[in-house]
């Protein structure tokens, strides 16, 4: 008996560049009663993105992936020009998950001459990454609101590695009464614990090893909480010392916040989430995790 697992062979996704063509197509699909699942990305896909696409394939009749390195969310001196891009590579990976359409617009079509409209979410965007990357979230919310308008999705999937981004997009979607179900999906990690990120490709072998300190810091924090530690400042200090042992690591922030408001907490409780941003060499990495078991309340 042949026990070899069968794999589904999907057709190549259609790549669409034009904003108008993409929007007209999606409006027609909705008129036909099709449910659209959408995964917005900046490309250079990895297994974290593919996990979102596989889930999206289960949640929609039509699966749309966007690939757009959005210039408005990069600040001066950041890695917009060097951000990895390879549409052919990404299209091949997307095909394996059953993507129907790849929307890959050009910046001049998304932001034509005279463009002057931006979306800003107040409160959630001034802390954490927003404090160290001014204007970043204005760029994120602007492009996501535009993508939602163009793609017309019923459901959009985002990774929880960008925890603050997910919170901001959820707030924007609710406040603007956008008819999109925003789903956050679990962080996908390498076998050694490093959270998958397109920016991991920037790391040298030595830096890649040092980058493990982020996931190790999360584990250390959970161990402290399990042992009864609830003082957030004590936990932060312990983690800062651990991260500081890495020769090329530089801390942007270590914060313990309420999961919904993102306000800093002095005492750890079941709503607390630990958020980290650390430069390893020139590469800025982020990671996060809850400090208690979400199902039982245990640390």
Element (H, E) at 41: strand 36-41
pLDDT at position 74 is 96
At residue 7, the pLDDT reads: 63
* Residues annotated as part of the active site: 49
Q: Which residues of the chain have pLDDT under 70?
A: 1-7, 294-299
Structural domain total, the chain: 2
Q: What is the pLDDT of residue 5?
A: 46
Residue-level pLDDT at 91: 98
Q: Is residue 145 part of a domain?
A: yes
Domain match, 285 and 230 both: yes
Domain finish residue from 139, 156, 185: 185
Residue at which a domain ends, from 128, 151, 185: 185
Regarding whether 211 and 164 lie in a shared domain, the answer is no
Which residue segment(s) compose the domain that 67 sits in?
Answer: 14-185
Residue 283 sits in the same domain as residue 262: yes
**Quick one: pLDDT at residue 6?**
54
CATH number at 148 reads 3.40.50.620
For residue 216, give every residue at least 6 positions away whose Cβ sits within 8 Å of its Cβ, in sequence order, or none. Answer: 193, 242
The gap from C-alpha 295 to its chain's centroid, in whole angstroms, comes to: 23
pLDDT of amino acid 8: 79
């Amino acid at each position: 008996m042949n026990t070899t697992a069968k794999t589904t062979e999907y057709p190549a996704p259609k790549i669409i560049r034009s904003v108008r063509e993409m929007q007209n197509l999606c409006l027609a699909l909705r008129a036909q009663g099709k449910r659209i699942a959408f995964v917005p990305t900046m490309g250079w896909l990895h297994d974290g993105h593919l996990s979102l696409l596989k889930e999206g394939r289960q949640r929609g009749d039509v699966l749309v992936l966007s690939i757009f390195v959005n210039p408005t969310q990069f600040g001066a001196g950041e890695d917009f020009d060097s951000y990895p891009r390879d549409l052919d590579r990404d299209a091949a990976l997307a095909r394996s998950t059953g993507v129907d359409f790849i929307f890959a617009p050009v910046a001049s079509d998304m932001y034509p001459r005279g463009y002057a409209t931006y979306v800003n979410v107040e409160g959630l965007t001034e802390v954490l990454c927003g404090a160290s990357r001014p204007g970043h979230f204005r760029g994120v919310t602007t492009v996501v609101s535009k993508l939602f308008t163009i793609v017309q999705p019923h459901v959009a999937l985002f990774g929880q590695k960008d925890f603050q981004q997910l919170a901001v997009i959820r707030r924007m979607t609710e406040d603007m009464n956008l008819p999109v179900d925003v789903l956050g999906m679990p962080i996908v990690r390498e076998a050694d614990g490093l959270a998958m990120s397109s920016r991991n490709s920037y790391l040298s072998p030595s830096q890649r090893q040092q980058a493990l300190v982020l996931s190790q810091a999360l584990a250390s924090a959970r161990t402290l909480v399990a042992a009864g530690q609830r003082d957030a400042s004590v936990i932060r200090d312990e983690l800062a010392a651990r991260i500081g042992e890495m020769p090329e690591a530089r801390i942007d922030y270590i914060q313990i916040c309420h999961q919904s408001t993102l306000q800093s907490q002095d005492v750890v409780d079941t709503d607390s989430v630990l958020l980290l941003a650390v430069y390893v060499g020139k590469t800025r990495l982020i990671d996060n995790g809850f400090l208690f078991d979400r199902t039982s309340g245990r640390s």
